[in-house]
Amino acid sequence: MTVRNAKHATFTIERVYPASPARVFAAWSNKEAKTAWAYCHPEWPVSDHVFDFREGGREHLVTGPAGGTRHVFDAVFHDIVPDQRIVYAYDMHLDERRISVSLATIEFFAVAGGTRLVLTEQGAFLDGYDDIAGREEGTRIGLDNLDRQQRQQRAA
Amino acid sequence: MLNYQAPLDLAFQALADPTRRIMVERLSQGPASVSELAQPLDMTLSAVVQHLAVLEASGLVRSQKVGRVRTCRIEPTALHSAERWISERRASWERRLDRLGTFLVETDPTAKPRRRK
């Protein structure tokens, strides 16, 4: 049985790059450029990739280890201000299981010598991430060991 | 890894007691009031409250008092895994933004003399 829960989290990450805001923005707005750096596991084959970078457009990426769990990323670009800001909402599925729904805000600020990028993710993280059944199994084994240990202590 | 080991030890200590295991089993079916928890147990309510305190200290169970009723619920292990999932998401972004940095340096037109005007 899946334990239903939603955990909310917000985090912000900053980087300063020695490149103009236009170049940094292009790395997010161009499909080929984004493919070069943005995917968690570049070695995984991509079975489907739609990249429609405009307000109201979507990005859809299906990837994952060959023969393994399908990782499905679905995003809608809500706000695009060239060289300054991108806001998109996205969800992540592992096979059929939705594991998170998030809002990502990417801001680009011109600074001396380059660009300060500020990424903020606000997310609802759903039903835990790893295999719940496996964890329950792990707990049960732990309790069994504890029982055995207690029996041994009583017998001694 | 003391920070991770300590809660686990507390949890196992809490579960070493058969009464507390019955309480946890009951709560794994859903939230319950203290009197509901005490009902199948052959002991005083104050003894149940003491066991509950041990379970709460271990992080396995939390309780909340609304009006005159204290409701207990199990702290789903999935919450811990959600926290881990969130830190993995953050770490994944960190790695990708580092790769973006590498990408920007590698594709920097001004760094390639043959492309300079």
What is the rounded CA–CA span in Å between residue B82 and residue B74? 15
Question: What is the reported pLDDT for A57?
Answer: 98
CATH of domain A7-125: 3.30.530.20
Query: Least CB-CB distance to B78: which of A39, A121, A128?
Result: A128
In terms of domains, do B19 and B60 share one?
yes
> Chain B residue closest to A7 (CA)?
B82
In terms of domains, do B51 and B100 share one?
no
Number of domains comprising chain B = 2
In terms of domains, do B36 and B85 share one?
no
Distance from CA of A56 to the nearest CA of B (A): 24
Per-residue pLDDT averaged across B10-29, rounded? Answer: 80
- CB of A12 within 8 Å of a chain B CB? The answer is no
Order of strands across the sheet that contains A6-17: A6-17, A114-126, A97-111, A85-94, A71-81, A58-63, A46-51
How does the average pLDDT of chain A come out, rounded?
A: 83
In terms of domains, do B67 and B83 share one?
no
In terms of domains, do B17 and B37 share one?
yes
Per-residue pLDDT averaged across A42-50, rounded? Answer: 88
Domain coordinates in residue numbering, chain A: 7-125, 131-156
In terms of domains, do B68 and B87 share one?
no
- Written as one string, the DSSP assignment of A80-131 is EETTTEEEEEEEEEETTEEEEEEEEEEEEEEETTEEEEEEEEEEEEES-SS-
In terms of domains, do B85 and B65 share one?
no
In terms of domains, do B91 and B49 share one?
no
In terms of domains, do B41 and B56 share one?
yes
Per-residue pLDDT averaged across A6-29, rounded? Answer: 93
Per-residue pLDDT averaged across B45-71, rounded? Answer: 90
Residue B12 has pLDDT above 80, yes or no: no
| A31-60 residues touching B, CB cutoff 8 A | 33, 36-40
- CB of B62 within 8 Å of a chain A CB? The answer is no
Question: What is the reported pLDDT for B27?
Answer: 85
What is the rounded CA–CA span in Å between residue B62 and residue A69? 34
In terms of domains, do B29 and B63 share one?
yes
Whether A5 sits inside 8 A of B76 (CB atoms) is yes
Q: What is the pTM of this model?
A: 0.61
Domain that holds residue B110: 78-115
pLDDT confidence tier of residue A138, bands split at 50, 70 and 90: very low
